Amino acid sequence: MEAQYSQKEVTSVRFYDCTFTKCDFSETVFKDCKFSGCTFENCNLS
């Protein structure tokens, strides 16, 4: 999954066994989210 989510708010989402590649999560706010078994490759998580 390649996506631009910078400066977004993500609420109550569950991610299971996902692979995130080249995703931009800079300044993203995750509220009540769960990441289980996920892989992040070349992603911006700042």
Q: Give the angle subtended at the CA of 14 by the CAs of 12 and 17, to the nearest 5°.
A: 165
Nearest to 13 by CA among 39, 32, 29: 32
pLDDT band at 8; cut points 50, 70, 90: confident
Q: What is the pTM of this model?
A: 0.77
pLDDT in tens, 23-43: 888 889 999 999 999 999 999
What does the alpha-carbon distance between residue 15 and residue 24 come to, in Å, rounded to a whole number? 16
Which residues are within 8 A (CB) of 24 and not within 5 positions of it... i.e. 6 or more apart? Answer: 3, 4, 5, 6, 43, 44
Q: Write down the pLDDT at residue 13.
A: 93
> What tokens were used for 31?
């509220």
Q: Write down the pLDDT at residue 45.
A: 87
